[in-house]
Amino acid sequence: MDKYKDIHSSVSSKKENVNDLESLESFRQEFLGKKGDISLAMKELGKLEPDERKKHAEELNIIKDSVLSFVKVKTEEINNEILDKQIKTESLDVTLPVSSSSGTIHPITQVIDEVIAIFADLDFYVAEGPEIETDYNNFTALNTSEHHPARQMHDTFYVNSETDGMQNVMRTHTSPVQIRSMLSQEPPIRLIAPGKTFRCDNDQTHTPMFHQVEGLVIDKESNMGHLKGCLEIFLKSFFETDSLNMRFRPSHFPFTEPSAEVDIGYKKKGNQLIIGEGSDWLEILGCGMVHPNVLRNINIDPDVYQGYAFGMGIERIAMLKYGISDLRTY
């Protein structure tokens, strides 16, 4: 070890001066940096005879390893000290009162909570599904075949991945939660599924990500009359009005037959919209009786079971209820 005695003792004495990450880095550079003592000595090895070289290399590697392990241990030690200090000095007293400028619940979250509360009173439970869905659940199982025009209307974001060999999409509506729920649960089913939905669309009244709530009831007797009653109770309760003009307009959705769109009456008073009264109509949601093909797709016998479904945009009902003209300001 004679040849490297100086390096060895220099390593030992300089270790003493290391007390923070900066001095640790200088220490490392001094020995292992490009022009560090150990690195330079390593270069010199090439000039030696093979026997000598082997012997010296062994000695040098011992010193090098000791520097490396010191750097490793010391880094951890210093980082722990920094963390301890932070924990001691940066404590947060959660019992302090919040300042008056603190945040509030976003109107979308608030409306989702209101919708859930109303449907909970009507015996609906909340179901969830993933935002990245298979093309099959988002379209095919919902009776929307490959070339169905509804696929174009949905301006789908296709995702570069597959699940079980199936193309994935960002779900364009919350309706695929119907499929997932019917596959995992026997009827009777009575669910709502609020959540994020995505379409490649962006203008003053559309954003690429928006929210919907889906409703689904499957049992042996539910009919269009039940659907109407359920939606009437919901809309009256949501818009907090006892009188509500409401009409069912024939429509078309691949997953319901018959299908309808629901409009509610409104009138304008100055800048304000009065919901429920008046002779003007606002389209508010889509609904219908679940198409027998949807039930067949998940092995539910449509001769035994039937039911209704509905879907509505959360942004739209939030804006109407709270008189918000542009949600992007929130």
Interface with ligand DAH by CB under 6 A: which residues? 173, 175, 214, 253, 256, 286-288, 309-311
Query: Nearer Cβ to ligand DAH, position 36 or 288?
Result: 288
Smallest distance from ligand DAH to CB 121, Å? 20
Strand blocks (E) in 164-316: 166-170, 189-198, 209-219, 246-253, 256-269, 272-275, 280-290, 306-313
Secondary structure element (H or E) that encloses residue 163, with its range: strand 158-163
DSSP per-residue letters across 29-51? HHHHSTT-HHHHHHHHGGGS-HH
Q: CB of 288: closest distance to ligand DAH in angstroms?
A: 5
Cβ proximity of 235 and 215 under 8 Å: no
For 321, the token pair is 């209820």
Q: Cβ closer to ligand DAH: 11 or 262?
A: 262
Work out how close the CB of 272 gets to ligand DAH at its nearest, in angstroms, rounded to a whole number: 28
Least spacing, CB of residue 287 vs ligand DAH, in Å = 5
Give the residue with the Cβ less far from ligand DAH, 37 or 214: 214
Rank residues 36 and 311 by Cβ distance to ligand DAH and give the closer one.
311
Shortest Å distance, C-beta 188 to ligand DAH? 17
Is residue 173 within 8 A of residue 197, CB to CB? The reply is yes
Q: Return d(Cα 130, Cα 140) in angstroms, integer.
A: 17
| Closer residue to ligand DAH (CB): 309 or 317 | 309
68 closest CA partner among 35, 36, 40, 20: 36
Q: Which is nearer to ligand DAH, 135 or 214 (CB)?
A: 214
Shortest distance, position 286 Cβ to ligand DAH, whole Å: 3
Residue nearest to ligand DAH (CB): 311
Nearer to ligand DAH, 36 or 195 (CB): 195
Q: CB of residue 113 vs ligand DAH: minimum separation in angstroms?
A: 21
The CB-of-215 to ligand DAH minimum distance in angstroms stands at: 7
Q: How far is CA 149 from the centre of its chain?
A: 28
Contact by Cβ (8 Å): 191, 179: no
Listed in sequence order, the residues at least 6 apart from 34 whose beta carbon sits closer than 8 Å to its beta carbon are none
- Kindly tell me the sign of the dihedral angle through the C-alpha atoms of 134, 260, 316, 194: negative
Cα–Cα separations (whole angstroms), residue 156 to 9, 197, 209, 254, 326: 69, 10, 11, 16, 24
**Closest CB to ligand DAH among 168 and 212?**
212
Owner of token pair 């198409």 = 291
Query: With respect to ligand DAH, which residue has the nearer C-beta, 179 or 309?
Result: 309
Cα–Cα distance, 226 to 247 (Å, whole number): 15
Closest distance of CB 255 from ligand DAH, Å: 6
Q: In what order do the strands lie in the sheet with 158-163?
A: 132-134, 166-170, 158-163
